[in-house]
Amino acid sequence: MIRFGDFSSLCRDTPSYPWCNLFYHQLQHHNSTLLTGPSADPKVAPVGVNPECGILLVGADGSVANIANIIACGLSLLGVGYLIFVVGRRKAAVGRAEFRIFLGLYWLTLVLQLLTTGAFLQQGSTALTVLTAIHAGAVAATFWALLANALVSTQVVEDGTLSSLIPFSFFILAFAAATTYIALDVAFSFTSVFGPSNPPASLHSVPLFVLTTIWPGAAALLYLFLMLYIVLGMLNEVRPVWFYILAAVLFVLSQLDYFLLNKVICNGVTPARIDGSFVATVLETAAVTVLFFGWMSITEDTWEEEPYYYGR
């Protein structure tokens, strides 16, 4: 019976699901007999815990790692890097500093995703486990930054000031630190609070499930509602609404691909060579790009100060 907080079905049915790296390390050190098939040998094990379809570690049986998602992450890093540069040029735009931090955090999650799901770090290794824990913390912090950008847009406090940036940054650090610690405790069992799953095969952790699965969806939904209120209720504009609706649709499609089509693609024409994670990465980056255009549409265009000419 599947309980709330169980990762067993996700780690079995969802290829390249990063948080499974934490449970792999846990089982490897406490219940290694539960690791079967390719997962039983860390020298070839794919991302996941006994996955029905998974990309083997690079070099194993001719595997070239999760090459499709590596390319998608690489191109997304370039695109998001350019967006960060463009945001930095809009000197007087509302929420410029906060939106730039959000983009920077998303850029960081792409780097960590490339490392934790790329299938070129050995399963159960300390490096992969620690990077996965940091990845979890970065994802939780990124979705707080997303929601906080909507709060900043209400102008309850002036954007870019200490009264905005201090709580904004504090909760980024709080989400990152708390989630990273919980993820590390799940993997290394420092304590019995977040430690070994009970029963072991369920891969159970309610706090990790809430922070990596429930929280991102809830934060994205709250962000959408707040931005619709701001655009329609406060700014009395309609055109920017379509940017936020499109971004929401792209985000939902990325999650549907990840959890529903991922295994289908993995079992497709080239079994266990590529999976659907690259499609999800492309859709998520497209959603972030559309959010950028939405932000541009509701902020002032101040690329550079207008030159002053004497005698005018």
Nearest Cα neighbor of 103 from 302, 288, 293 is: 288
Residue 150 lies in a domain: yes
Instruction: Judge whether residue 309 has pLDDT over 70.
Output: no
Residue 148 lies in a domain: yes
Residue 309 lies in a domain: no
What pairs with residue 204 in β-bridges?
6
CA 172 to CA 14: how far, in whole Å? 28
Predicted confidence at residue 92, as pLDDT, reads: 65
This prediction has a pTM of: 0.93
Residue 311 lies in a domain: no
Residue 310 lies in a domain: no
- Cα–Cα distances (Å) from 38 to 12, 50, 57, 176, in that order, read 12, 7, 10, 32
Predicted confidence at residue 199, as pLDDT, reads: 92
Residue 152 lies in a domain: yes
Residue 59 lies in a domain: yes
Residue 3 lies in a domain: no
Instruction: Judge whether residue 312 has pLDDT over 80.
Output: no
Residue linked to tokens 């967006």: 83
CA 273 to CA 265: how far, in whole Å? 10
Domain containing residue 114: CATH number: 1.20.1070.10
Residue 300 pLDDT class (50, 70, 90 cuts): low
Give the structural domain span for 184: 8-297
- Cα–Cα distances (Å) from 52 to 47, 62, 216, 291, in that order, read 11, 19, 26, 35
Q: How many domains does the chain have?
A: 1
- Reading the block at residue 300, the tokens are 């002032």
Do 193 and 201 meet the contact criterion of CB atoms below 8 Å apart? no
Q: Each residue of 10-45: pLDDT tens digit? A: 999 999 999 999 999 999 999 999 999 999 999 999
Give the pLDDT mean for 133-139.
98
